[in-house]
Chains A and B, each alone.
Chain A
Amino acid sequence: MSAVRCVDLCKTYRQGDQDIKALDHVDLEISDGGFVCLSAPSGGGKTTLLNAIGGLDKPDTGEVWIAEQRIDQMSKGELAALRLSQIGFVFQAYNLIPVLSARENIEFVMQVQGQPTALRRDKAMAILREVGLAGLEDRRPAEMSGGQQQRVAVARAIVSRPALVLADEPTANLDSTTSDGLMALFVDLNQNHNTTFVIATHDQRVMGYAKRLIRMLDGKIVDDIDQQAA
């Protein structure tokens, strides 16, 4: 079964008086339990592809399927429900809600899902320990370093054990030790929970963890390497 399937995706942006092809006839299938890195120079289309997979952005043409459900024609409400139940997100920046503490940020998704208070608190505290932020649960984002914030965002993305995690430059603000810790966590989830990961990144070290490496250029997939085989 495929976790993600993209069929002939196209997406064009207008910037000034120039048309930019962010996605140019992209076909992609990621199977369940995949661990995929997307790498591309800036403007190469990786964030756009990630957003299209996450249902945040609609492609101009083509189809997006998540867990055998076609999502590019879903309503906003259906998309919200889908993201809530099946996808975890880690964005490049502005990842956290400023008025909520670390723990509350992590609980946010669970709370919207309607999980009971005690349960989500336990889960949040556990995941905070896992990402090495025990003791910082009551800090607001402004009181944490960039790396700590990013770890809270990751914790939030994985706390409900979603089937699919989409991460956009998750290690951009982290030092190498923390990055390794984070990736170990991802690998662990991938192996033990069969969570599918799609990570857009520039970071060579991150690419090293990937089972499959996809390179994009000008909205096209130019390279698709199965690293397990290698």
Chain B
Amino acid sequence: MKVVQISFLLASRNLWRNYRRTIIMLVAISVGAWAMIFMTALMRGMVNEMLRDGIRSLPGLVQVHNSAYRDDPSINNLVSMTDIEIETTFAAAGIERYATRVRVPAIISSERESRGVTLLGVDPLRERSIEAVGSVIAEGRGLESIDDNGIVIGKKLAGKLDTEIGKRIVLMSQDPDNEVADRGFRVVGLFEANLAAQEEAFVFAGRTVVQKMLGIDGRVSEIALTGDDYRNVELLLADTRRLMDGRDEVLSWQELDTFLGTMLGVMDGFVLVWIVVIFLALSFGLVNTLVMAVFERVREIGLMLALGMRPSGIMLQIIFESLLLLMLGLSIGNALAYASVIPLKDGLDISVVAEGMEMFGAASVLYPEIQVNDVVLANVVVLTLGLIASLSPAWRASRYEPVKAITKV
């Protein structure tokens, strides 16, 4: 243990012997560590927001549909349980954060314009519990109850339809017999969403009103359930599957929106690749610094060997020196990354490329998110690979012949 102590002492003193070189290397490591964490925070912010937006628009982490619904999302493919059965089943199982919804394709027409939309018959209270899109009202009021007669549409859609709060619009869809089912609604509220596409895609009305209009009393198209962590849906999925008892299709958000599901995996992969790439770019400088340090200290390394220090003690010194350098650089880099995220707390406005970001399914304000596991990953990867990279110079140093090292001029 004493050898470890003296090796550590020597490493920490040696680090500052050539302070210019150490500082250059420290700056490089700090910049690298900062870039690792900052860039990851930006990308995480974007992707997490994307996932949250995507999950809000699905909505939920898990959904239940008729097994034919995904292939043929029509009025004929409804959930096998009635809404009352669902309510009793879920209440008995203690599940609270879910919503039952009627979801059909429809045409919405103002006096002037028509658009294709998705009509959702919802229970407004339940919608809020699953944080579904449409809950943020920009103008007017939200739906108040399950049998609210009004309709809430997106702000963008209102513009395109040339309509406004208080005006009437007509919704047209089909009933289970493929007869045209239509009904007039008064626009009571306009909702806002992060993505323009969502404001144009969805319109919301009271669930029983829509059920009556379509002639499907007591039946719904989907059950949406949510939980706290989108990375962990297995439990919720299993619970719901058990409740539905094999009658309907129960899918997680990754299966429902494969683009989003893939995105999360790709993002995790990207973070690791980015960290490793930065490290590799740094590693050449790191190894170079160590090689130079060893080269300059041949004589004293020889001396220490001559005095009876084992080669492992020499190796330990070089490795400690490398780890100290890395840890210092990482600390500065981590601190910088945290500091540079602070001014961006209110989001980084990238609305100049808003429509481009929308192609990715991302919003136009970026909120950097530093995730602890990313930071841990970055630091662990750098220290581990740094240790491996220092092995070669350390090994070379420990192999010097003391007498040659001492007499070397």
| Contact A112 B3, CB 8 Å, known A56-B306, A81-B308 | yes
Stretch at the interface among A83-91, A121-129, A130-138, A186-194: A83-91
Q: How far is the CB of B7 from chain A (nearest CB, A)?
A: 9
Verify A94–B311 contact, CB threshold 8 A.
Answer: no
B interface: dominant SS: helix
Interface contact A89-B307, CB-CB below 8 Å = yes
B interface size (C-beta, 8 A): 27
Q: In the complex, what's the smallest C-beta–C-beta distance from A36 to chain B, in angstroms? A: 20
**Alpha-carbon gap, A156 to B311, bound state (A):** 20
**B307 A100 Cβ-Cβ under 8 A:** no
Contact for B13 among A89, A100, A112, CB less than 8 A: A100
- Is B56 part of the contact surface with A, judged by Cβ < 8 Å? no
Provide the bound-state CA to CA distance between A81 and B13, in Å.
25
A82 to B306, CA, bound (A): 11
A100-B10, A111-B6, A112-B2 given; A94·B309 CB < 8 A: no
Q: Classify chain A: how many residues form its interface, as a range.
A: 20 to 34
Residues of chain A in range 68-95 having any CB-CB distance to chain B below 8 Å: 76-77, 80-85, 87, 89, 91, 94-95
Residue among A77, A99, A109 making CB contact with B307, cutoff 8 Å: A109
Cβ-closest chain A residue relative to B398: A76
For B10, list chain A residues within 8 Å (CB).
97, 99-100
- A98 contact set on B, CB distance < 8 A: 17, 300
B5 within 8 A of A: yes
Query: Which residues from chain B contact A81 at a C-beta distance below 8 Å?
Result: 308, 310
Q: Are A111 and B308 in contact (CB-based, < 8 A)? A: no
Check B403–A83 contact: CB distance below 8 A.
no
> What residues make up the interface of A, taking CB atoms closer than 8 Å to B?
47, 51, 54, 56-57, 76-77, 80-85, 87, 89, 91, 94-100, 104, 108-109, 111-115, 156
Task: Known A-B contacts: A82-B308, A96-B303, A100-B13. Give 15 more (CB < 8 A).
Answer: A56-B306, A80-B309, A81-B308, A83-B306, A83-B308, A94-B299, A94-B303, A97-B303, A98-B300, A108-B307, A112-B2, A112-B308, A113-B308, A114-B1, A156-B307
Give the A-binding residues of B (Cβ under 8 A).
Answer: 1-3, 5-6, 9-10, 13-14, 17, 299-300, 303-311, 313, 401-403, 406-407
